[in-house]
Chain A
Amino acid sequence: MKVAPVLEELQDAERELAQHLLRFGERHALEQDLYHTSHTLARQCEQHLRALEPFAERYSAHVEHADTNSPGLLERMRRATGGALGRSEAAGKVLLRDLRDLYLSIQAAELMWVILVQVSQAARDGEMLQAAISCHEAAEMRGKWLRTRIKESAPQVYSA
């Protein structure tokens, strides 16, 4: 079984998603619910990365420790984004585009969990299967959250 590359790709996907969430949350900080939920979900990505650590060791996958919640990373993000967007008609369109863009990162990570569920079954690793199923549930919820938020924003942006 070549489990290591799956774990590595999954870690990349969760790490990239965490950074995407933080960048997105800072950029749309005026939408307070997006700011807070993005940060909550970025912390969840970190929990997912921690949940993967024992399996990365078991299958000799490369582990890059990334504490997505560290002030260092948050600070870097703030500087990189150079402040939040204001409120304007254009900001609504930008928000919707950014929400769609974030949805792709969320789906990319979710699919990697689907793959890990299948690989865990093939490898007959019950422990990894359990972790994968539980994380996949959370990963699916992120997508539902964003669909809900896109449904809320779309009519406001396009009926103005």
Chain B
Amino acid sequence: MHLSEQAVDPPGEARTDMQIFLDYARRLNLTDKDGAPLLKWDTPEECFEAFKQITRGRPCDYTGITYERLRGSGGIQWPCNENSPDGAERLFTDHHFHTETAYTEDYGHDLVTGAAFERKDHADMNAAGRAIFKAAEYIEPNEPPNDDFPLLLTTGRTAYHFHTRTKTGRAPQLEAAAPSMWLEVSDADAARIDVQEGDIVRVESARGWIEAPARITGVREGHVFAPFHYGYWDHKQAGPDGHATAANELTMTAWDPVSKQPTVKAAAVRLTKVAPANGPAPAPTTTASAT
């Protein structure tokens, strides 16, 4: 756990998320069982103190952590309580897991369908402190390649950026290492449409298209890779200006059945050449994009 303190005051009449949240709770007149206001705190630190009490005796026990201690450290790993006053670097060193049915916080889910297990399912397993190992069989992508869209797009990252670059795009060294959008195509697929390194290609799915210079690389034949870092915020706009680069717009709406995390990961696409190269693609020459 780290402490990220407020850096600037909200501008103008804007309020912090926390102030809005508290205002909302008070207007709803939320009360505890004695009729007192449910939220008895005002500041982030007071909120943390209240939250600590919820974790007492639970796996992520924070009760030994304070703002004071966080400010004087590079972070503290929970659990931090009387038993491990300086936090714990490793969990489960005694090979005992939190799988007693009466203690566990979740009875678990089926990884394929998201079916929630009930108490009796968990009790039947009788894990009793042993770890639970889950497996799921291979499942086809939601949208396998077809005649109209014969290639499979996957989206992913470069080492230099995090998500849509709202932080890493402001670090000059990181931005210079991977400044703009590219697409990765295999030798064979590039040859089929007469594409050379750096040529501008269009990748199109049933939902949209993006255009970027092609990096001919060791990506598997039949696959196209697109980094998902390059949206439009740093062009001060919400959408493309004729040069679409946001890879997530090609993927379909789908989410993981258990975590509900949007997958934005795969789509059936077709690849076409749009214009000749102005030079090599701006892909990094290190990490996963290296040939």
The stretch among A3-11, A57-65, A117-125, A142-150 that forms the contact with chain B is: A142-150
Count how many chain A residues have C-beta atoms less than 8 Å from C-beta atoms of the other chain.
15
**How far is it, in angstroms, between the C-alpha of A151 and the C-alpha of B113 when the chains are bound?**
14
Taking a contact as CB atoms under 8 Å apart, the answer to whether B115 and A145 are in contact is: yes
B127 at the interface (CB under 8 A from A): no
Nearest CB of chain A from residue B56's CB, rounded to whole Å: 30
Q: Which residues from chain B contact A144 at a C-beta distance below 8 Å?
A: 110, 113, 115-117, 121
- Do A142 and B113 touch (CB < 8 A)? yes
From A32, A36, A41, A43, name the one whose CB has the most chain B CB atoms within 10 angstroms. Answer: A36
Q: Which of A43, A145, A148 contacts B140 (CB 8 A)?
A: A43
State in angstroms the CA–CA spacing of A32 and B113 once bound together. 13
Q: Verify if B253 is at the interface (C-beta below 8 Å from A).
A: yes
Does B30 count as interface, using CB distance less than 8 angstroms?
no
B4: shortest Cβ distance to chain A, in Å?
33
Say whether A153 faces chain B, with CB atoms less than 8 Å apart.
Answer: no
> In the assembled complex, how far is the CB of residue B139 from the closest CB belonging to chain A, in whole angstroms?
6
Interface residue? A37 (CB, 8 A): yes
User: CA separation between A152 and B113, bound complex, in Å?
Assistant: 14
Q: In the complex, what's the smallest C-beta–C-beta distance from A84 to chain B, in angstroms?
A: 13
How far does the alpha carbon of A37 sit from the alpha carbon of B113 in the complex, in Å? 6
* B139 touching A145, Cβ below 8 Å: no
A148: contacting residue among B112, B115, B252, CB under 8 A:
B115
B114 on the A face (CB < 8 A): yes
Interface pair B113/A141, CB less than 8 Å apart: yes
Partner among B110, B142, B252, B254 whose Cβ is within 8 Å of the Cβ of A141: B110
* Contacts between chains A and B (CB distance < 8 A), count: 40
Q: Mark B119-146, 1 if CB is under 8 A from A, else 0.
A: 0010000000000000000011010000
B257: CB under 8 A from chain A? yes
**Residue B255 interfacial (CB < 8 Å):** yes
The reply to whether the CB of A39 lies closer than 8 angstroms to some CB of chain B is: yes
For residue B115, give the distance in angstroms from its CB to the closest CB of chain A: 4
Q: Which residue of A lies closest to B117 (CB)?
A: A144
Q: With contacts A39-B142, A40-B139 known, is A141 near B253, CB below 8 A?
A: no
Q: Pick the contact of A37 from B114, B117, B140, B252 — CB < 8 Å?
A: B114
Chain A residues positioned under 8 Å from B255 (CB to CB): 32-33
In whole angstroms, how far apart are the Cα atoms of A40 and B112 in the complex? 9
Q: Which of A36, A41, A147, A151 contacts B254 (CB 8 A)?
A: A36
Given known pairs A39-B142, A43-B140, A144-B117, the reply for A32 and B112 (CB within 8 Å) is no
Contacts A36-B142, A40-B139, A43-B140 known; A145 to B254 CB distance under 8 Å? no
Given contacts A32-B254, A33-B255, contact A41 B142 (CB under 8 A): no
Contact B114 A32 (CB under 8 A): no
Chain A residues positioned under 8 Å from B113 (CB to CB): 37, 40-41, 141-142, 144-145, 148
Q: Is the CB of B253 within 8 A of A32?
A: yes
Say whether B115 contacts A147, CB under 8 Å.
yes
Give the chain A neighbours of B257 by CB distance below 8 A. 33, 37
Is B116 a contact of A148 with CB atoms below 8 Å?
yes
CA distance A43 to B138 in the complex (A): 12
Q: How many angstroms from the CA of A9 to the CA of B139 in the assembled complex?
A: 27
Bound Cα distance A39, B113 (Å)? 11
Q: Using an 8 Å CB-CB cutoff, how does the interface string of A98-131 with B read, 1 for contact, 0 for none?
A: 0000000000000000000000000000000000
Question: Residue among B110, B113, B252, B255 with the most chain A CB within 10 A?
Answer: B113
Contacting residues of chain A (10-37) with chain B, CB-CB under 8 angstroms: 32-33, 36-37
Are A33's CB and B114's CB within 8 A?
yes
Docked CA distance A145–B258 (Å): 11
Chain A residues whose CB sits within 8 angstroms of the CB of B254 once the complex forms: 32-33, 36
* Cα of A36 to Cα of B121 in the assembled complex, Å: 25
Chain A residues whose CB sits within 8 angstroms of the CB of B114 once the complex forms: 33, 37, 145, 148
Q: Can you list 18 contacts pairing A with B, beta carbon distance less than 8 Å?
A: A32-B252, A32-B255, A33-B114, A33-B257, A37-B113, A37-B114, A39-B142, A40-B112, A41-B113, A43-B140, A141-B112, A144-B115, A144-B117, A144-B121, A145-B115, A147-B115, A148-B116, A151-B116
Give the 6 A-B CB pairs with smallest separation, nearest first: A145-B113, A144-B115, A145-B115, A148-B116, A32-B253, A148-B115
